[in-house]
Structure 1
């Protein structure tokens, strides 16, 4: 609910504004904490309608990691320069280009004026600010080093952006090859192969079973292409829905880790994100149990996430960090051994940062190796399909020649 208020501040000056809250009592307490004397307080139905309309718009909008990292870097610079936090958000609201982020910044600015802490304001926008982001901001506010924490956050986001860019660039080639191969196969099956085969069929000769198999596919594509299109759409939507379910997500994430070519890259990406974010959270002053809870939602792989959850439960019972992580079997021995050394020397955050730098480079090498391995595999796959079609097309000719001889 959104409440509009009019009040007098400590100097007796009239002020007015709006606050979003679950109940009226919270708004009253918030205004009293600011030494306001409430003159009028009521629920604003018009503002609620505007908010619902804006929420409908945000269904088709998103905040890219580039926008969020730029926003974080700018906020860090302003806070570090001594600018008041409310004034910083007012400036950012004017210059932020992304509509969804600009509305969130405006809402946070209003909430800050209402007496909320920055991390509490950001919690109201979970689609933009992840639990990791909110936890680090909370640690920065508590420790009085918000500008430093925001700078580290910006570094983390920029590194994630680099990794995402590498993954996208690596996936462009196989996707293009698959699309071109699919179009070529459909063209050959639909337009080229039937012309040759119909000449043999008109003579009354029986087609070989291999040729008839491809001809049946050709007839199906030609006569029932719309069913094929519907089937592809249903399959894509179905797989996406299954991937969002807990068991389906676990199945696919485990499959990704075990694939011969892709598995190593997926593992490197998960470990790189784990070490980098855990190191950043610990250095920022976030307690280890809270840091591991945050990590469960940001590593990007359900198998690794469950392993972190089991490690967190073991640590709560008094064990070290390295032992339960090693027991999960997800992390390489080097990772757990270096974490153990970091615990023994009291420099766990530095050790994690060293590992994150190492695994960031490993991600680059793994993606390049995956791409190099996939290139010949894709070529062989496409050649095998087109070669099979060609053989099926000319197989009746070979049969006729053999019969004549």
Structure 2
């Protein structure tokens, strides 16, 4: 059903407004007249609804599956509205099914698929909609959908690989922190108290441990509260573009982390350019749309400057050379693509090379970071154990 807004005159001669649901505008007019009203005007409610703007109903995994299945169905010459009906009926989540039904209703009403997707900007971003529109214009919607699905899958796999690399170190840090906190706040005070009661002369390491333990016991709750307050302030600050850009800029200067962030964004942007340009979207428009995939505000600001240079007549490779994001090899490959006329192909190859470098950086970083982390945590626990054992050994020697 489609919602229509109307204005009419009732039997008393007063002007009134209302809404009516119908399959078409013709049926909507008949329903209004059936209410005994004289219709003045009627129009379909804007396809861009508030629900789609504020609520995200489709996650990345679901978007991948839906895009892949839609590509298969459209390549089999099945109309888009029928394909959406089939997908909405087989999806498990009701919210996804409702979203697909709304998109299908818009298409039945005469809207294109790209226009219908504008009702749900949080589920289908600017890039997605632009590519769909390009596919509709060129008559290659099935191929565009396949490329979109491939790109979403690559992005999903890259994200999973990065998360998997961080799982072990994060668990190790959390467990070590929990063990050390329990030792310092519960175990150590009880043990040390016995030595103090016996008025035994304690080694320097034990005295240091006592000081740390006393500090933790006295200010542990304050430390927790301070951490929470700092996190809240940072969360609120990240809503401000100026603060967000400052934090993102500082992250780029952190060893290894900055390098990883740059490679992720460089690969993401170049791959988007490759997909957009090969889909028939002009370079200038592709560069502007590509900005939407950049989540680091500092990098986005640099790329906006690059877009401005291209607008003024500079080549893509020249514009990228003015940023500190793309490696020299990437810029040289893009330059070669511009000279040979195979820019789209070269952009795709450049993105693949940056992805390979990203994976290599992650592997090397983790191979160094994990053993180093184990050594640091083991050293801390060893220090605590030795600091407790030393007074015991001294006591035994005195006996």
In which range does the TM-score fall when normalised by the shorter chain? Answer: 0.7 to 0.9
CA contact (8 A) 2:74 2:83 kept: yes
* C-alpha contact 1:262 1:370 (8 A) present in aligned 2: no
What aligned pairs does 1:161-240 form with structure 2 within 5 A after superposition?
Answer: 161-204=156-199, 211=206, 214-219=209-214, 221-222=216-217, 225-240=220-235
SS in 2 for 1:260: coil
Return closer, same or farther for 1:55/1:192 CA change in 2, 3 Å cut-off: same
TM-aligned CA deviation for residue 332 of structure 1:
1.5
Report how far residue 328 of structure 1 moved: 1.7
Q: Greater CA deviation, 171-180 or 283-292?
A: 283-292
Matched, 1:153 2:148: yes
Runs of 5+ unmatched residues, structure 2: 7-19, 33-40
- Is 2:260 aligned against 1:265? yes
Q: CA deviation at 1:165?
A: 0.8
2:116 aligned residue: 121
Q: Secondary structure at the match of 1:3?
A: strand
Counterpart in 2 of 1:340? 335
Name whichever of 65-74 and 191-200 sits farther off: 191-200
Q: In structure 2, how many angstroms separate the alpha carbons of the residues matched to 1:124 and 1:209? A: 68
Q: Is the 8 A contact 2:337 2:346 kept in 1?
A: yes
2:95 is the alignment partner of 1:100: yes
Work out whether residues 268 and 366 of structure 1, in 8 Å CA contact, stay in contact via their aligned partners in 2: no
- Give the aligned partner of residue 323 of structure 2: 328
TM-score of the aligned structures, taking structure 2 as reference length: 0.82
* Shift, 1:312, TM fit: 0.9
- Offset, 1:264: 2.6
Name the structure 2 match of 1:380.
Answer: 375
Q: Is 1:301 matched up with 2:287?
A: no
Give the Cα–Cα distance (whole angstroms) in 1 for the partners of residues 21 and 77 of structure 2: 26
Alpha-carbon shift at residue 195 of structure 1 (Å): 2.5
1:223, CA displacement in angstroms? 6.0
Q: Judging changes above 3 Å, is the alpha-carbon distance between structure 1 residues 42 and 74 closer, same or farther for their aligned structure 2 residues?
A: same
Whole-Å separation in 1 of the counterparts to 2:390 and 2:242: 46
> Does structure 1 residue 277 correspond to structure 2 residue 268?
no
Task: Give the C-alpha shift of residue 190 in structure 1.
Answer: 2.2
Deviation at 1:267, TM superposition (A): 2.2
Per mean C-alpha deviation after superposition, the further-off stretch among 309-318 and 389-398 is 389-398
Question: Which residue in the other structure is 2:10 paired with?
Answer: none
Cα 1:318–1:384 shift into 2, 3 Å: same
Counterpart of 1:13?
Answer: none
Per the TM alignment, residue 326 of structure 1 is displaced from its structure 2 partner at its CA by 0.3
- Relative distance call for 1:189 and 1:356 in structure 2 (3 A) is same
Cα deviations across residues 92-135 of structure 1 (Å, max 9, x unaligned)? 11112234332221111111122222112212212211111111
Classify the secondary structure of the residue corresponding to 2:29: strand
For the Cα contact (< 8 Å) 1:119–1:138, is it kept in 2? yes
Conserved? CA contact 1:119–1:134, under 8 Å? yes
Q: In structure 2, what is the Cα distance between the partners aligned to 1:77 and 1:152?
A: 12
Task: State how far apart, in whole Å, the 1-side matches of 2:210 and 2:73 are.
Answer: 68
**Residues 354-393 of structure 1: per-residue CA shift (max 9 Å, x gap):** 1122222222222211211211221232134324434554
Q: CA deviation at 1:171?
A: 0.7
| Cα distance change of structure 1 residues 140 and 55 upon mapping to structure 2, 3 Å threshold | closer
| Contact 1:18 1:110 survives alignment (8 Å) | no
Residues in 2 aligned to 1:123 and 1:171: alpha-carbon distance in whole angstroms: 36
Q: Which residue, 344, 354, 360 being the options, matches 2:355?
A: 360
2:79 is aligned with 1:84 = yes
| Contact 1:3-1:18 within 8 A present in 2 as well | yes
Q: More deviation in 385-394 or 101-110?
A: 385-394
Contact 2:269 2:291 (C-alpha < 8 Å) held by counterparts: no
- Is the Cα contact below 8 Å between 2:114 and 2:133 reproduced in 1? yes
CA-atom RMSD in angstroms:
3.3
In 1, are the aligned partners of 2:4 and 2:28 still within 8 Å (CA)?
Answer: no
CA separation of 1:210 and 1:103: change in aligned 2, threshold 3 A: farther
CA displacement, residues 114-162 of structure 1 (integer Å, 9 cap, x when unaligned):
2222112212212211111111111111211111111100000000011
Aligned partner of 2:236 among 241, 244, 257? 241
In structure 2, the residue matched to 1:139 is 134
Partner residue, 2:12: none
Aligned-residue offset at 1:37 = 8.3
